[in-house]
Amino acid sequence: MQLLKVALENELDLTLAYKKSIKAAELIGLSRSTQTAFATAVSEVCREVIDKTHDGLVTLEIHNEGERHHLAAVITYRQSESINNLEEGFQYARKLVPIFLYAVSERKGTIQLKMGIPKAVGISKTKILMVSSYFEHLEPSTPYEEVRQRNQQLYLINEQSEQALQQAEYLNQQKNEFLSVASHELKTPLTILRAYTQMALKTDCSPITLSHLKKVDDQASKLQTMITQLLDISKIEDTETEYNLEATSSKQYLLDMRDLIMQLVPAHQLLIHLNDDSTLYIDRLRVEQVIMNIIGNAAKYSPAGTQIVFTTTLQANGEVLFSVKDQGIGMSEEELIKIFKKFYRVESIIKQYNGLGIGLFISSKIINNHGGKIWVESIFGHGCTFFFTLPVYKD
Ligand code: ADP
């Protein structure tokens, strides 16, 4: 049965091996002179191992051979030409303990030093457990030992967290795969549903049927946005997203988008100030997705009739600053820092407003991938201003 282990790398380990051997022999009940002889033999062998290999391990064990018990030190090391059976320390240790066993294989050397435990001393499982638990719970006796113990603990923690990380990455991959497959499957029937609803909307039907069909189309459109977001999230996380970058005149691009934006916020007063006319190098659809998401949110989280101001400005640092200011519910400081996280939604609004908490996560990825930044400023209860920047294209 094993009592303790000491790695053998430098002189300080030698002191540790010596002290622990003495203590183990003492706890087992060996006489003072036997304790010293055993510990000296251990330290002589360890000295040679450290000097010649810098890479060994001593394990103290209780061996049970027939009727007899022994306190044993098993010292293993990396075998090399620099160490052999005739080392001075080995010779000295041979004289100190009754049993000295030496064995080498191609890669490993093993030395066993054994000291008999007299019957009168008595050895039992409980005693062995008591000795090993003493070393397990032993407070570090030197700063070096403390550092070594901490290192061992850190190594263990590191190993555990690496395993947890691997597991989390695997689960994340599985989740993305599921999202990707599920949203693909949902997309087709929904597109067909919308196509038929829109055809039906153009037919000659009663005002009440028309109003019902519009509601169906509205809800189907919301569902389509959510499914597209789900599909996007798996793509963006897998860094599969390909950007079709094109040199784009910012003003014209936004003027072309104007009608689309108007449709998105029919119940609000939308003011658009396009103060910039530089060229951007962007994926037009992806940046449109960001703008629609932010303006859509501004409308979603503010009362009908209030103002939404969309502004673009060219900054001195060569970036175009886009901002969207609303007069809505706003956010607390605590929430501001979390809203670009995946699936994050402000707790208090979940029941009131529908959504998945994905739009801003995707928007931030798109803007970052274009070399820009995105952030928000807000005073709780007094609206939000979302900002993002895009670098101006240099030919
Ligand atoms: P969703 O709107 O689908 O929940 P988003 O990722 O677009 O997801 O937004 C994340 C969260 O940020 C929202 O759930 C909401 O709590 C908050 N939020 C976004 N825009 C605004 C805004 N203009 N005003 C107040 N809160 C907002």
Question: How remote is the CA of residue 284 from the centroid of ligand 1, in Å?
Answer: 23
Beta carbons of 308 and 262 less than 8 angstroms apart: no
340 lines ligand 1 (CB under 6 A): no
| pLDDT band at residue 71 under the 50/70/90 scheme | very high
362 lines ligand 1 (CB under 6 A): no
Cβ atoms within 10 Å of 333's Cβ, excluding its own: 9
What is the per-residue pLDDT across 191-211, written as a single tens digit (0 to 9) for each? Answer: 999 999 999 999 988 999 999
309, pLDDT greater than 70 = yes
325 lines ligand 1 (CB under 6 A): no
Q: Ligand 1, atom 10: nearest CA belongs to which residue?
A: 357
Atom of ligand 1 nearest to the CA of 294: 20
Q: Ligand 1, atom 2: nearest CA belongs to which residue?
A: 355
Q: Range with the lowest mean pLDDT among 173-187, 264-278, 368-382? A: 173-187
Which of 226, 230, 301, 350 has the most ligand 1 atoms within 8 A of CB, as the residue to mutate? Answer: 301
Q: Which amino acid is at 118?
A: P
Q: Ligand 1, atom 11: nearest CA belongs to which residue?
A: 345
Geometric angle at alpha carbon 353, from 351 and 358, rounded to 5°: 105
Question: How remote is the CA of residue 288 from the centroid of ligand 1, in Å?
Answer: 17
Q: What are phi and psi of 9, to 5 degrees?
A: -125, -35
Residue range 225-246: average pLDDT? 80
The average confidence (pLDDT) of the chain is 90
327 lines ligand 1 (CB under 6 A): no
Q: Ligand 1, atom 14: nearest CA belongs to which residue?
A: 345
Residue range 9-26: average pLDDT? 89
268 lines ligand 1 (CB under 6 A): no
Res 141: pLDDT: 64
Question: How remote is the CA of residue 113 from the centroid of ligand 1, in Å?
Answer: 71
Give the distance from CA 340 to its chain's centroid: 17
357 lines ligand 1 (CB under 6 A): yes
| pLDDT band at residue 235 under the 50/70/90 scheme | confident
What is the per-residue pLDDT across 211-225, written as a single tens digit (0 to 9) for each? Answer: 999 999 988 988 888
360 lines ligand 1 (CB under 6 A): yes
Cα–Cα dist 42/20, whole Å: 10
383 lines ligand 1 (CB under 6 A): no
Res 66: pLDDT: 79
298 lines ligand 1 (CB under 6 A): yes
Domains and CATH numbers, the chain: 2-138 (3.30.565.10), 162-237 (1.10.287.130), 245-391 (3.30.565.10)
Q: C-alpha distances in angstroms, 387 versus 94, 295, 310, 383?
A: 79, 11, 10, 13
Q: C-alpha distances in angstroms, 274 versus 258, 289, 294?
A: 11, 18, 16
232 lines ligand 1 (CB under 6 A): no
Q: Compute the chain's Rg from CA coordinates.
A: 37
175, pLDDT greater than 90 = no
Res 106: pLDDT: 80
